[in-house]
Amino acid sequence: MPVVRISLISGRTNEQKAKVAAAVTQAMVDHAGSTAEHVNVIFDEQPRNNWAISGKLLSEG
């Protein structure tokens, strides 16, 4: 039972996440031999002040 975790900045709509979940599920079926019923997709959403790139919080612009 594959579990795919996707970490991203908060702000995507449910429609966007549903499309991503469907695409990732299909990719697991097409390329990893999984069945759609066994693919789990978990979205780990973080606010901008909890994410830093190159030592700088995204909330600091």
Note the pLDDT tens digit of each residue in 3-59: 999 999 999 999 999 999 999 999 999 999 999 999 999 999 999 999 999 999 999
The CA–CA distances, whole Å, from 29 to 17, 22, 36, 39, 55 equal 18, 11, 6, 8, 37
Q: Residue ranges per domain, the chain?
A: 3-60
Catalytic residue among 2, 17, 21, 51: 2
Please state the pTM of the whole predicted model.
Answer: 0.89
pLDDT of residue 17: 98
Per-residue pLDDT band at 61 (split at 50, 70, 90): confident
pLDDT of residue 23: 98
* 47 counts as catalytic: no
CATH class name, domain 3-60: alpha beta
29 near 36, Cβ under 8 Å? yes
